[in-house]
Structure formats: structure tokens, C-alpha cells
Amino acid sequence: MEGQAAKRRRVYSIEPKKVVEEAVFTRNYMNYLVPALMKIKAGKRSSHCCEIQNVVKHEVDMAMVFSAQGFAWSNALKANLQRYQNEHSSSSGGPIITSNNNNNPSNSSSKSIKYVNKDIKGEEYEDGFINNNNNNNNNNNNNNNNSKLRCLRRLIPGGEDMCNEQMVEELESYISCLKMQVNVLQYLADKNC
């Protein structure tokens, strides 16, 4: 089954590498996030803090999506967010616990995915580590690498649908966008303390 899935995934055309420009990304990000945050703060004074957190998180991710268009991961992230939004626009608005909870109904949201990844990575990493310790067979190394690639695949939004090649490509843009996002958020957070 894995093989079949892998074969399916291979049909993918490599497009020329897109580079995310720092300035452009940051500007778009701020442009989106700042008004959104202001709106949140203005509107929901009395809400539960968890809700606010979720909404902020949501906006943070949306800002990411809009600042880095055209990548597979950003499209996947967008889809996740929209799904999340659809799920919760209809819900009664109970706070979604953004904790290490795999039973979260909104499992498709990027937030819970991030947390889930932590657990999974822990397990996978341990397995890989043990493998490494036991023997250095090529086989084991391959398994090792494969499990790590699987980890990475879960880390990057939309990674399950990518083949290894594509995933490594997307990783470049994803990592640089994450870095820039962290910068922006750090700046915003420090500015407002």
C-alpha cells in the first residue's frame, strides 16, 4: 500500500524553484496579521482566553498562507484552516483545547497537527535511534531515513500528499517562511509587552 501510494505520489512535475523574498513575505504577513489581531482584540474582550488563543493562532497561520502563496504547503495549510474554520463556525464555540490531544475533533486543523507531530516524532525518533544503536545495516539506515522522512512529511502541512522529492523542495520554502514568521511574531510580541 505504501508502495502504491508512493507511486501515485511520484507523478509530480518539478517546477522552477520559487524563492520567498524576505521583504515581501514580511510585509504581507504584517499587513494581514496586524489588522486581524486588532480586530480580535477589539471584538472579543470577554472571550475565553483559549478561544482567543485559537483565533490568534488561526490568524497567524492565515497570515502565513497569504504571505507565501504558491507553495504546496501553503495551499495545504489554507485548506486545513478553511476546514477548521468551517468546523468551528458551526460549533457552539466551546474552546478547543490546543493541548497534546489526539482525540481532538478538529484533528484536521493545523494546530492539532502540530501537536500531534510532536508525539509522533518522539516515537519515530526513538525507533530510529534504537535502530541506529542496534546495527548499522544499510537496511536499518534506510528505514531510519524513511521514518525521518515520514516525520518530516507530517511536519510540513500537506506533506502526506507529497512525494519525497517534492517534500524536500517544499521544505526549503517552508523553513524560510517559518523563520520569517518567527521573526515577525517576535517583533510583534516584544513590541507590545
Partner 1 sequence: MLHCLNSNASGSEMTVLERQRATIKWQHNNNHHQGYSSSSSPSPSSSSSISLVQVQSSSPACLAAGAWPKLDNNFLMGFTSSPSSGFPLPPPPPPTTSAASFDLNSAISRTSSCPLPSLAEGKETTTPNNKRKTDKFHNTKVVASDNDNKDKRVKVAAPNDSATVGKKGTQDCGDNSNKDNSKVSEVQNQKPDYIHVRARRGQATDSHSLAERVRREKISERMKFLQDLVPGCNKITGKAGMLDEIINYVQSLQRQVEFLSMKLAAVNPRLDFNMDDLFTREVFPACAASFPAIEMSPNMANPASYLHFNSSQQIDAGINPQDISLRRTISAPVSAPETFLDSSCFTQTLPSSTWEGDFQNLYSVAFDQARAASFPSQLFTGS
Binding site for partner 1 (CB under 8 A): 7, 10-14, 22-23, 26-27, 30-31, 34, 37-38, 40-41, 49, 52-53, 55-57, 60, 98, 111, 114, 117-118, 121, 125, 128, 132, 141, 144-145, 148-149, 151-152, 155-156, 164-165, 168-169, 171-172, 174-176, 178-193
Please tell me the distance from the alpha carbon of residue 141 to that of residue 139, in angstroms, as a whole number: 5
How near is the Cβ of 57 to partner 1 at its closest, in Å? 5
Q: Which residues contact 56 (CB under 8 A, 6 or more apart)?
A: 37, 40
CA 58 to chain centroid, in Å, comes to: 11
User: Nearer Cβ to partner 1, position 24 or 105?
Assistant: 24
How near is the Cβ of 193 to partner 1 at its closest, in Å? 6
How near is the Cβ of 23 to partner 1 at its closest, in Å? 5
CB 175 within 8 A of CB 50: no
How near is the Cβ of 106 to partner 1 at its closest, in Å? 16
DSSP string, 161-177: GS-HHHHHHHHHHHHHH
User: Nearer Cβ to partner 1, position 102 or 186?
Assistant: 186
Cell of 58: 488561526
Please tell me the distance from the alpha carbon of residue 184 to that of residue 27, in angstroms, as a whole number: 9
DSSP string, 82-126: HHHHHHHHHS--PPPP-SS-TT-TTTTSHHHHHHHHHHHHHHHHH
How near is the Cβ of 158 to partner 1 at its closest, in Å? 14
